[in-house]
Chains A and B, each alone.
Chain A
């Protein structure tokens, strides 16, 4: 079966500071309804847009990271359609014709398949910078039946990148991997925070076995990209097996039910009345801007970043885990630069600490949930010097650290092996009866002995398993020696 997929990915530049054309906030989350609004983003007559420098810089860095052809200047165009969430009833966007000049043409994205470590590529057709509309919620009845639409314009004017790929993608899984990779890249570029609610939307074009192209709109998560496309393949295959024809149409992804639904047909051919926005003269892409953007793009070259880690003999799984959790990569780099062993550092951070954060329901993308590099370095040193086994670090120290990353290490470190040994010796000498009971098969006697040892050490951060092991070992060796 031959599947051809092309994607149109809308990503908010949530980290741009301001909206695209006014000083309202780019990240509106947590704000009261309709409080992040001004005459410009409400499109009031007489208010005029002025392009945010940061938005252009971020878009330019993205275009460079995707190896696009960069124009000498960019031109915004007006795209007209009537909708309640669009206050001017036109969107300031870009267009490659009618006098418009998008920020990027003809790029390419390389994305990693982390199960085969194979890099795949997909051509990028173009990137537009545009403004997000407001957010509409519908009363009872939903989009099809609600008597009213309720609009929050806090989102209106937030800078968006519209990234359009060529139909080079072969599987729904690749489509998901591409989007995941792109979002990661945009995070490294400082363009967006991919984890914010509603920060990106995907429209996918799919054609199965040379059939007509079907567009699926409104996909809101990377997992849904794969799901929606799989659903479409199944749906289209069934229709064709039953002798039906696939019509060229636009469908809507219903994430709740996991199905695509047809959208009603438009009365006329799409007619957007494009023309260059007369309020926004062309913006020159200067050498200075390019230089700055290149610096930003260099920091987001995931392939190079991965290569760097592999060169340090970090296993690819660990390396990828570090990369996909940016604070862990930063911490890794700092720890290694302080002298930490790369492989051990990677293992601690990418596998066990990250796993523990998830276990504790803490956000691994929040840098404040990670310890300072000095702490990590100390853990690495303690492991290598054999003071603690890796199991002790993993089983005892990491959980304690994850619940309090700023804790001073000595307050959570368990007793060193030697201290335990001393305590074990003492307890064995004092508790002859219990030892005898144990040797006679009363296994609960061991629990008693463990308790005695813990009490003798007098600190909480001791793994009972370690003590149990030490007791067993000591008793066994005594038996061997005496017997």
Chain B
């Protein structure tokens, strides 16, 4: 394990002429060529010449005393379900191989507006449907900390690229933990914002009412930096909240004596013993610093997982109806409209995606809608109201994952075992609240993370707490050797 300069420090040093963006770009490109063969974090990479050229442009601008953006010279990787007009966007699916969208996602425009260099598009479970990044049409991504293991998913490519130093910052997406689970498995930080804080315009939809594009990085300050750039109202997204741009980067480390953490029994229990022990160790440590610990209950949490999957499947079945071969590269080759569509969808979708579509159709069909979809939305209301009640007065401390990063293939044979990995993370998506996962320990070389959940638009508080925890763990900026 070694520590890299945090991205915000790098950007500062570029601006101050202390570090050279071009030299840095070469370093990152080197890490990519060293690790990609094993890890497979990227689906597509920007050409190295272009990356260096961009870095040179930034360096020239700085030398000439021009005003440069907040992310000038930083190499940002972007999950491949976020539309870029200059790199293919596949969502990890054969259906979209190769599809180049005719527009950029709002977040991508905002990255470019701050002079970020987009270095490539990261691997994911097909259409973000998975928790391990094994279910990509472009092969699995491996965990740099142990290539026999998965990096979590579905933003596993983003997390892995950070963990081996193949990017400075990354954009993931989080529908039920897709940015946070990979963070927990790779000793990186994943920050799912309040629903509506970040525009979804240009995010290839899976579960629209649940998901947010989420900053990922190797430190808390870095995710805050990225959040400030991508967040804030977007008129192109009707679910985007009419709020000012977030200002979390300047948040200061929390004063422990002014922090209250709620330990929600249902979100603390049920994980593997090593994980539970790590969880309690950091909480006791915080308590000794003066943090108040309080106990809370959330009985409805036991129904969160089925409620989450029901809603996600229903929305997914609808969102994925558009892939019929007309506008997208996978063609059916059938000889009637119906046959053509059926063949395109047979060939274009992987098994897990097909299953989720079928389940979603089931949950929405006449006669079953009330029993599945509507029932799940009722549970969602109770859960949201409870989470809003609890987070009004404290930050929830929750496990990030019930298990350490599993080995490749270990979780694939049983769908319910795969879904169970998200048991702690789906709560924040159902309730819409912000949630941050950060590393707290390593166990036998494998990272363990913790999850903090705050109140709606309480991002700054989470960053403050995260900075405090980071100071205690000393795990900011870690990458594999």
Tell me whether A46 and B365 are in contact (CB under 8 A). Answer: no
Interface string of B177-209 (1 = CB under 8 A from A): 000000000000000000000001111110011
B86 within 8 A of partner (CB): no
User: Which of A87, A274, A278, A281 makes the CB contact (< 8 A) with B326?
Assistant: A87
Q: In the complex, what residue of chain A is closest to B328 when comparing beta carbons? A: A45
Give every chain A residue within 8 A of B237 (Cβ-Cβ): 48, 50, 279
Docked Cα-Cα span, A197 to B67, in Å, equals 55
Within 8 A of B (CB), among A20-42: 39, 42
A280 and B238 in contact (CB under 8 A), knowing A44-B101, A80-B318, A82-B341? yes
Give the residue name and chain of the B residue nearest to A49 (CB). Answer: B238
Q: Which of A98-116 contact B (CB under 8 A)?
A: 98-99
Asked whether, in the complex, the Cβ of B200 is within 8 Å of the Cβ of A39, the reply is no
Query: CB distance B204 to A275 under 8 Å?
Result: no
Identify which of residues 74-130 in chain A touch chain B, using a CB-to-CB cut-off of 8 Å. Answer: 78, 80, 82-84, 87-90, 98-99
- Flag if B204 contacts A45 (CB, 8 Å): yes
Q: For B103, list chain A residues within 8 Å (CB).
A: 39, 44, 46-47
Contact flags B227-251 to A (C-beta < 8 A → 1, else 0): 0000000011111000000000000
Which residues of B sit under 8 angstroms from A43, Cβ to Cβ? 322, 327
Q: What are the interface flags for B336-366 relative to A under an 8 Å C-beta threshold, 1 for contact and 0 otherwise? A: 0110010000000000000000000100111
Q: A98: nearest residue on chain B (CB-CB)?
A: B369
Q: Is B83 an interface residue (CB 8 A)?
A: yes
A99 to B376, CA, bound (A): 13
Main secondary structure of the interface of B (DSSP, over half): loop
Nearest residue (CB) in A for B364 is A273
| 8 Å CB contact of B238 from A50, A84, A275 | A50
Q: Which residues of A contact B62 (CB under 8 A)?
A: none
Chain B residue contacts of A241, Cβ below 8 A: none
Which residue of B has the minimal Cβ distance to A272? B366
Return A150 CB to nearest CB of chain B, in Å. Answer: 12
Contact yes or no, A45 B364, CB < 8 A: no
Q: Is the CB of A46 within 8 A of B205?
A: yes
Q: Find out whether the CB atom of A279 lies under 8 angstroms from the CB atom of B208.
A: yes
* Neighbouring B residues of A279 by C-beta, 8 Å: 205, 208, 237-239
For residue B208, which residues in chain A have a CB less than 8 angstroms away from its CB?
Answer: 278-279
Nearest neighbor of A84 in chain B, beta-carbon distance: B337
Interface band, chain B? 35 or more
CA distance A78 to B373 in the complex (A): 14
Known: A82-B341, A84-B337, A278-B208. A44 touches B236 (CB 8 A): no
- Report whether A50 and B235 are in contact in the complex, using a CB–CB cutoff of 8 Å: yes
Say whether A149 faces chain B, with CB atoms less than 8 Å apart.
yes
Contact of B366 among A39, A88, A271 (CB under 8 A): A271
Q: Which listed residue (B236, B315, B321, B373) contacts A89, Cβ 8 A?
A: B321
| Nearest residue, chain B, Cβ from A88 | B322
Q: How far is the CA of A80 from the CA of B238 in the complex (A)?
A: 21
Asked whether any CB of chain A lies closer than 8 Å to the CB of B271, the reply is no
Chain B nearest CB: distance from A416 CB in Å?
Answer: 65
Q: Are A275 and B327 in contact (CB under 8 A)?
A: no
Question: Residues of B contacting A269 with CB < 8 Å?
Answer: 366
Those of A264-323 within 8 Å (CB) of chain B = 269, 271, 273-275, 278-281
CA distance A44 to B326 in the complex (A): 11
Nearest chain A CB to B99 CB, angstrom units: 8
Is B10 among interface residues, defined by CB-CB distance under 8 A?
no
Do B365 and A44 touch (CB < 8 A)? no
Report how far A269 CA is from B235 CA in the complex, Å: 39
A45 touches B322 (CB 8 A): yes
Inter-subunit contact A50/B318 (CB<8 Å): no
> C-beta contact mask, A147-189 vs B, less than 8 Å → 1, else 0?
0010100000000000000000000000000000000000000
Query: Knowing A43-B322, A82-B341, A89-B322 touch, does A48 contact B366 (C-beta < 8 A)?
Result: no
Q: Contacts A45-B91, A45-B204, A46-B205 known; A275 to B364 CB distance under 8 Å?
A: yes
A403 to B394, CA, bound (A): 80
The main secondary structure of chain A at its interface with chain B is: loop
CB of B415 closer than 8 Å to a CB of A: no
- A153 to B: closest C-beta gap in Å: 10
Assess the B318–A275 pair: CB atoms within 8 A.
yes
B204 touches A46 (CB 8 A): yes
Q: Does B83 lie within 8 Å of A87, measured CB to CB?
A: no
A219 CA / B20 CA spacing, docked (Å): 70
Contact of B203 among A46, A88, A281 (CB under 8 A): A46
How distant is B239 from chain A, measured CB to nearest CB, in Å? 6
List the B side residues contacting A47 at CB < 8 Å.
103, 201-202
A51 at the interface (CB under 8 A from B): yes
A78 proximity list for chain B (CB < 8 A): 318
- Cβ contact within 8 Å between A82 and B321: yes
Q: How far apart are the CA atoms of A80 and B316 in the complex, in Å?
A: 13
Q: How far is the CA of A18 from the CA of B341 in the complex (A)?
A: 31
Given the known interface contacts A90-B321, A275-B314, A279-B238, the answer about A46 and B105 at a Cβ–Cβ threshold of 8 Å is yes
Nearest CB of chain B from residue A432's CB, rounded to whole Å: 88
Interface centre among A39, A42, A46, A83, by most B CB within 10 Å?
Answer: A46
B317 contacts the other chain (Cβ, under 8 Å)? Answer: yes
In-complex Cβ contact of B318 among A82, A90, A280, A281 (8 A): A90
A78 to B333, CA, bound (A): 28
A334 to B: closest C-beta gap in Å? 41
Which of chain A's residues have a CB closer than 8 A to the CB of B337? 82-84, 149
Contact A80 B201 (CB under 8 A): no
Interface residues of B in 410-424 (CB under 8 A from A): none
Q: Is B102 an interface residue when CB atoms closer than 8 A count as contact?
A: yes
B125 close to chain A: CB less than 8 A: no
Q: Are B322 and A48 in contact (CB under 8 A)?
A: no
Pair B238/A87 contact, Cβ less than 8 Å: no
A278:B364 contact, CB within 8 angstroms: no
Residue of A nearest to B338 (CB): A82
Which positions 368-390 of chain B face chain A at CB distance < 8 Å?
369, 373-374
User: How far is it, in angstroms, between the C-alpha of A83 and the C-alpha of B105 when the chains are bound?
Assistant: 27
Distance from A157 Cβ to chain B, minimum over Cβ atoms (Å): 14
Contact A42 B238 (CB under 8 A): no
Q: What are the residues of chain A within 8 A of B459 when measuring CB–CB?
A: none
Determine how close the nearest CB of chain B comes to the CB of A299; give it in whole angstroms: 30
B238:A45 contact, CB within 8 angstroms? no
**CB closest chain-A residue, reference B207:** A278
Nearest Cβ on chain B to A142's Cβ, whole angstroms: 15
Cβ of B354 to closest chain A Cβ, rounded Å: 16
Q: How far is the CB of B195 from chain A (nearest CB, A)?
A: 11
B82, B314, B327, B365: which contacts A271 (Cβ < 8 A)? Answer: B365
A88 vs B323: C-alpha distance in the bound complex, in angstroms?
8
The distance from the CB of A326 to the nearest CB of chain B, in whole angstroms, is 35
Establish whether residues B365 and A45, one from each chain, have CB atoms under 8 Å apart when the complex forms.
no
> Does A273 contact B317, Cβ atoms closer than 8 Å?
yes
Nearest-neighbour CB distance to chain A for B110, whole angstroms, equals: 15
User: Which residues of B in the span 202-230 have a Cβ within 8 Å of any Cβ on A?
Assistant: 202-205, 208-209
Q: Do residues B322 and A87 form an inter-chain contact, with CB atoms below 8 A?
A: yes
Which residue of A44, A48, A83, A87 is within 8 Å of B200 (Cβ)? A48
Cβ of B364 and Cβ of A48 under 8 Å apart?
Answer: no
Q: Report if B324 contacts A (CB, 8 A).
A: yes
Does the CB pair B315–A46 fall under 8 Å?
no
Asked if B83 and A89 sit within 8 Å, CB to CB, the answer is: no
Complex Cα distance, B125 from A296, in Å, reads: 52
Name A188-241 residues within 8 Å CB distance of B: none
Q: Could you say which residues of chain A place their CB within 8 Å of the CB of B83?
A: 45-46
Quick one: closest A residue to B201, CB to CB? A48
Chain B residues lying within 8 Å of A278, measured Cβ to Cβ, are 208-209, 239, 315
For the complex of A and B, the 10 pairs showing the least CB-CB separation, nearest first, are: A89-B321, A278-B209, A278-B208, A273-B364, A45-B204, A46-B202, A88-B322, A46-B83, A50-B238, A46-B204
Q: Which residues of A contact B (CB under 8 A)?
A: 39, 42-51, 78, 80, 82-84, 87-90, 98-99, 149, 151, 269, 271, 273-275, 278-281
* A to B CB contacts below 8 Å, 5 in the list: A39-B102, A43-B327, A45-B204, A82-B337, A279-B205
Contacts A46-B204, A48-B239 aside, 16 further interface pairs with beta carbons under 8 A come to: A39-B101, A46-B83, A46-B201, A48-B236, A50-B235, A50-B236, A50-B238, A87-B322, A87-B327, A149-B337, A275-B314, A278-B239, A278-B315, A279-B208, A281-B238, A281-B239
